[in-house]
Amino acid sequence: EAYIDAIEGANGALNAYVCITPDKARAMAKASDEKIAGGEAGALEGIPLGIKDLYATQGVHTQSASHILDGFEPRYESTVTANLWADGAVMLGKLNMDEFAMGSSNETSYYGPVKNPWRKTGSTVDLVPGGSSGGSAAAVAAHLCAGATATDTGGSIRQPAALTGTVGIKPTYGRCSRWGIAAFASSLDQAGPISRDVRDAAIMLTSMASTDAKDTTSVDRPVPDYEAAVGRSVRGLKIGIPKEYRVEGMPGEIETLWQQGIDWLKDAGAQIVDVSLPHTRYALPAYYIVAPAEASSNLARYDGVRYGLRVPGSNIAEMYENTRAEGFGREVKRRIMIGTYVLSAGYYDAYYLRAQKVRTLIKRDFETVYADGIDALLTPATPSAAFGIGDEEMNSDPVKMYLNDIFTVTVNMAGLPGIAVPAGLSGDGLPLGLQLIGRPFDEETLFAVGSVIE
Ligand code: GLN
């Protein structure tokens, strides 16, 4: 009831939820009460969560924050949310996001932007919470849920977590099932939690992760008890500092934060090693070829026939065109156009195939440092603190907006786990985060090291 009251009080201002499900929450909480009374509580029994609108929730609003899915209520439940409910979690509602998870500021949502609960000291200017999981991050930061699900294709868990002072982990590709999560770029998409601290993220991920016959890219390996790794000693661990992440124009306070993180880890007994990931600077351009290419294919299914919006036309082709013209927003259309262009017969080799080769080189960079005994890498999570809603510079040129993902996309390109943890405040009082990148399926080290930093 406290969370429902908090949502009703604050959501008008923050726009974090696109749909609130109080009746469902009360029914689920009641069932949890009975389980607790009967001595059979699950790991998340009675814990109220918010769910990113990208996740299919049976009989409940699921629109990926897009006009094209108007009125869609799936008949099935995503595997990740089904896992959470099976462990006793309670659903508060669906969270705002960038349309189809395309964006870094939550400004591409059909439902309008989400406001970051944080403001600069003494300022009344509203800031973005980051994206695409901006609703998840804002809701967790403002106590409108105890934790939230999110997804990360190029940084959408870690970047909003960093900009709102919350924790977000993108697990290794394949750790969580993608079944029932609207596909953006299938080879990059991963589910993960946004939470108030590292321990909560560990508890949530243990529940969310699973092997799933319905997603053949989910891996068949046991899910560790991630919570056990929280607070584990980091003495003797080798932490790599990739020099290529010291990008030009990086604000001084991000440099300082990074150094602070290095000092904390040294004090905790970790060994700091300078490393090189030479292909880092190609990651962002390659990502913005691979991700739109896959998106253009995945989004072909929204045609006005099967679900959501249908805008009539004089024949079926016109109906497709009218529906897609009206149903998709500007950024989604831009991605579809880039994607179809780089996949087209004349340009496939020059763009898509090249980007895939670059992807392999990026992956090898990481394999090399891990083969040298590095346990995890420490980098900034974002190149700056939160910026203003409607920021002219960011919105005047899509490439400027894409630069927000400079530290996060490599992790998706290589399929690795990455966590963002709050590490301090900017000079004007905004949260800043650091990122840890791990070895494949070694989320445990990220939880151990992350708990030293937070
Ligand atoms: N900001 C990136 C993009 O717009 C990443 C989005 C995501 O991770 N879903 O593609």
pLDDT digits over 398-427, tens only? Answer: 988 998 999 999 999 999 999 999 999 999
Residue 52 falls in the annotated catalytic set: yes
411 in a structural domain: no
Nearest Cα residue to 323 out of 315, 222, 117:
315
User: How many structural domains are present in the chain?
Assistant: 1
pLDDT tens, position by position, 329-370:
999 999 999 999 999 999 999 999 999 999 999 999 999 999
437 in a structural domain: no
Domain range enclosing 202? 2-229
- From the CA of 34, how far away is ligand 1's center (Å)? 40
Helices (H) and strands (E) in the chain, counts: 15, 11
144 in a structural domain: yes
Q: Does the beta carbon of 405 sit less than 6 angstroms from any atom of ligand 1?
A: yes
Q: Which two tokens stand for residue 78?
A: 């995503």
245 in a structural domain: no
Give residue 44's pLDDT band: very low, low, confident or very high (50, 70, 90).
very high
445 in a structural domain: no
Alpha-carbon distances of 73 from 76, 77, 152, 336, 444, rounded to whole Å: 9, 10, 23, 24, 36
219 in a structural domain: yes
Q: In the predicted model, what is the mean pLDDT of residues 55-68? A: 98
pLDDT for res 249:
86
For a mutational test of ligand 1's pocket, the pick from 98, 181, 189, 400, i.e. the residue with the most ligand atoms closer than 8 A to its C-beta, is: 98
24 in a structural domain: yes
pLDDT of 307 > 90? The answer is: no
Q: Ligand 1, residue 335: give the atom nearest the CA.
A: 10
Q: How far apart are CA 110 and CA 124, in angstroms?
A: 25
Mean pLDDT value across the chain: 97
- From the CA of 292, how far away is ligand 1's center (Å)? 10
Cα 436 to chain centroid, rounded: 15
Residue 357 falls in the annotated catalytic set: no
Q: In the predicted model, what is the mean pLDDT of residues 166-176? A: 98
pLDDT tens, position by position, 229-281:
999 999 999 999 999 999 888 899 999 999 999 999 999 999 999 999 999 99
Q: In the predicted model, what is the mean pLDDT of residues 141-149? A: 98
The residue whose CA is least distant from atom 10 of ligand 1 is 102
- From the CA of 26, how far away is ligand 1's center (Å)? 34
pLDDT of 184 > 90? The answer is: yes
Q: In the predicted model, what is the mean pLDDT of residues 12-20? A: 98
CA end-to-end distance (rounded Å), the chain: 29
pLDDT for res 268:
98
Residue 186 maps to which CATH number?
3.90.1300.10
Q: How far apart are CA 432 and CA 422, in angstroms?
A: 6
439 in a structural domain: no
Q: Does the beta carbon of 426 sit less than 6 angstroms from any atom of ligand 1?
A: no
- From the CA of 263, how far away is ligand 1's center (Å)? 31
pTM reported for the whole predicted model: 0.98
